[in-house]
Amino acid sequence: MMTTTLWSIPASTLSTDDLKNKATVLKQRLLSITQRFSDVRFATSLAAEDMVLMDAIIESSIEIKLFTLHTGRLHQETIDFIKTTEDHYQIQIQSVYPQESNVALFVNQYGLNGFYDSEEAKKACCGVRKVKPLTTALMGADAWLTGQRREQSSTRVELNFEELDDARGITKFNPLFDWAESEIWAYIQQEQVPIHPLHLRGYPSIGCEPCTRAVKKGEDLRAGRWWWLQSGSKECGLHVQP
């Protein structure tokens, strides 16, 4: 029987000095953001990129508020990893939940797992469980951070460090926009950053449990996200400009 080789954490040939330089630039970027804006927030999924950002934020002792979107459909591993991360860094990560009434409306219209049926239903579910809660969590902020990188998918190749979040009228930063996957993992290994357990089981990208699966070696890093939809539909709406 032929066995499938899953994605695995890449080896890195990055030198210690090169990694130190990358980390220094990252921390300088974060510091410049907090010098320009008074209320900066970071929505972390606890996947690899977001763990690099969180580590750099905490190591820099800068004031950036941390929260995660607790969608109600997360893997148990993600829920457990929130506590692991809080214990490791001695911090508290705010959990932001969707409104129960909005979830009920979605379920009544589409069914609990109706997102499998169409692009429209998928967008509606993400809207209720992620997009609306994010908008609520960012109320009052003047800037927010993401762990997006250009290399992650075809929809992110033109990603910039700074952009305007038109939907919310605030500035959005992608401090890791120019980082390679191998550089992300070199930082994690060098700095002994906690690793989400699903990364060790073939998941390069982690979202809600019903909508995320492991990917084969050589596949697009986001191929496991909403795998039943066409390749161009790998965004939930958090980062799509109107």
CB-based contacts of 173, cutoff 8 Å, min separation 6: 29, 33, 143, 144, 145, 146, 161, 162, 163
- Calculate what percentage of the chain has a pLDDT beyond 70: 93
User: Average pLDDT, stretch 48-73?
Assistant: 97
Alpha helices in the chain (DSSP H): 16-36, 48-60, 76-89, 100-110, 119-126, 132-137, 181-191
What one-character-per-residue DSSP string does 173-235 give? E-TTTT--HHHHHHHHHHHT----GGGGGT-SS--BGGGB---BTTS-TTTTBSTTS-TT---
Is 179 within the bounds of a domain?
Answer: yes
Is residue 206 a part of any domain in this protein? yes
Which listed residue (125, 208, 211, 236) is catalytic? Answer: 236
For 199, other C-beta atoms within 10 Å of its C-beta total 20
> What confidence category does residue 238 fall into, taking pLDDT thresholds of 50, 70 and 90?
low
Domain tally, the chain: 1
pLDDT, mean of residues 33-60: 97
Domain assignment present for residue 223? The answer is no
Residue 1's pLDDT band, with cuts at 50, 70 and 90, is low
Comparing CA positions, the residue from 197, 219, 204 lying closest to residue 79 is: 197
Q: State which residues form the domain around 206.
A: 16-211
Q: Which two tokens mark 113?
A: 């797992």
* Residue 52, in any domain of the structure: yes
Q: Is residue 38 part of a domain?
A: yes
- Across all residues in the chain, what is the average pLDDT? 92
Query: Is 236 labeled as catalytic in the residue annotation?
Result: yes
* 232 part of a folded domain: no
In the predicted structure, residue 164 carries a pLDDT above the cut 60: yes
Task: Write down the pLDDT at residue 12.
Answer: 82
198-223 pLDDT, tens digit per residue, is 999 999 999 999 999 999 999 888 88
Residue 151 is predicted with a pLDDT of 86
pLDDT of residue 242: 42
224 in a domain, yes or no? no
Looking at residue 168, which CATH number applies to its domain? 3.40.50.620
Confidence (pTM): 0.92
pLDDT of residue 95: 97
**What is residue 233's predicted lDDT score, i.e. its pLDDT?**
53
Written as six digits, the tokens of 107 are: 């379920």
What is residue 8's predicted lDDT score, i.e. its pLDDT?
96
* Residue 240: inside a domain: no
